[in-house]
Amino acid sequence: MKRTAALGVLSILLLAGCGTAGGDPGGGGTSDDEGATGDAGAVDLAGRSLVATGITEGGAAYELVDGTEVSLDFGDGEVTARAGCNTMTGTFQVEGQTLAYTAGATTEMGCEQELQEQDEWLTDFLQSQPEVTVDGDQVVLTSGDTEMTLMDRAVAHPPLPVEGTTWTVESIISGDAVSSAPSGATATLTLDGEGNIAVSPGCNTGGGDYELSGDTLSLGPIRSTMMACEGAKMDLENAVLTVLDAGDLTVVVEGDVLTLTAGDQGLQLRGEE
């Protein structure tokens, strides 16, 4: 049915008025989705430590290797990525709603094939310039039919208590280098909350006294058995005791990860209550 020109003009004016007043996505207002991410230049990932809580490809769940997770730690233009084997660093910027990532240095740990492939998958995904959607504690990266949902680490993994948790050494820090604990050996420590530390540094077992004050852990001499071990077990034990024998350690807990440092030496441990 034909409408008159006057009626057409009136309809346009009415629609424009409704769009401005009601905030309809089709008009001049701001939609709820825009409010979640801000305007095109407002997406800011700097300072966020994120872990993946779900990944899908083609609508189906992408299964990570058992015991691994994907994490992204964003700094000021730099990002550190982990997917179970190596630690990968690179640079990034968010252009509009697009994450532009440039790969940089990576550690060169010898891991099982499936872990290496998972590292490569993450690198390829980040280099595909995924779209970024931010909604509070949640960040979603989308590229093609792949979607990765991440949460702030502190929300996904509330900090475990330093005391009463069994901590297992995962990485050894030496200067600027971070290396994974050698395969075939395990080191753990537990603070009982009453001033006693139990340590299994890789070969022997032992313990000692400690005092925890704020972010400082003060350890007395570690007394242990005197078994002789070879290979990975002894290498791990030597690395662990080098840090613990320093006496005063700085403590940082992020979710289920505990970092102990003394100068440029340190340990990264994962906790289990």
Q: Tell me if 183 is assigned to some domain.
A: yes
Bridge-based pairing state of the strands 87-95 and 98-106: antiparallel
Q: Name the pLDDT band for 105 (thresholds 50, 70, 90).
A: confident
Query: 31-44 pLDDT, tens per residue?
Result: 344 333 334 445 88
Q: Identity (one letter) of the amino acid at 240?
A: V
In this structure, are 149 and 195 located in the same domain? no
In this structure, are 128 and 179 located in the same domain? no
Query: 162-211 pLDDT, tens per residue?
Result: 999 999 999 899 988 888 888 889 999 999 999 999 999 999 999 999 99
Q: What pLDDT sits at residue 193?
A: 97
Q: Name the pLDDT band for 261 (thresholds 50, 70, 90).
A: very high
Helix (H) or strand (E) holding 249: strand 248-254
Q: What pLDDT sits at residue 53?
A: 96
Average pLDDT over residues 264-271: 94
In this structure, are 255 and 208 located in the same domain? yes
Domain termination site, one of 130, 154, 178: 154
Query: 119-153 pLDDT, tens per residue?
Result: 999 999 999 999 999 998 999 999 999 999 999 98
Q: Tell me if 86 is assigned to some domain.
A: yes
Domain termination site, one of 154, 176, 197: 154
The answer to whether the CB of 171 falls within 8 A of the CB of 268 is yes
Domain termination site, one of 154, 175, 200: 154
Q: What are phi and psi of 20, to 5 degrees?
A: -70, -40
Reported as half-sphere exposure (CB side, CA atoms, 13 A), residue 190 has a value of 10
Question: Strand, helix or coil at 193?
Answer: coil
In this structure, are 90 and 180 located in the same domain? no
Instruction: Tell me the two tokens of residue 4.
Output: 């008159």
Q: Tell me if 28 is assigned to some domain.
A: no
In this structure, are 114 and 172 located in the same domain? no
Q: Tell me if 1 is assigned to some domain.
A: no
Instruction: Tell me the two tokens of residue 85.
Output: 């084997």
In this structure, are 174 and 139 located in the same domain? no
Q: Tell me if 34 is assigned to some domain.
A: no
This model's pTM is above 0.75? no
Structurally, the chain folds into a number of domains equal to 2
In this structure, are 170 and 214 located in the same domain? yes
In this structure, are 177 and 260 located in the same domain? yes
What mean pLDDT, rounded, does the chain reach? 85
The answer to whether the CB of 79 falls within 8 A of the CB of 88 is no
How many Å from the N-terminal Cα to the C-terminal Cα in the chain? 72
List the domain range (segments joined by +) for residue 90: 49-154
Q: What pLDDT sits at residue 231?
A: 94
Q: What pLDDT sits at residue 42?
A: 58
Q: Tell me if 26 is assigned to some domain.
A: no
The answer to whether the CB of 64 falls within 8 A of the CB of 84 is yes
Query: 201-241 pLDDT, tens per residue?
Result: 999 999 999 999 999 999 999 999 999 999 999 999 999 99
Question: Strand, helix or coil at 228?
Answer: coil
Q: Tell me if 90 is assigned to some domain.
A: yes
Helix (H) or strand (E) holding 240: helix 232-244
User: For residue 259, what is the domain's CATH number?
Assistant: 2.40.128.270
Assess whether pLDDT exceeds 60 at residue 103.
Answer: yes
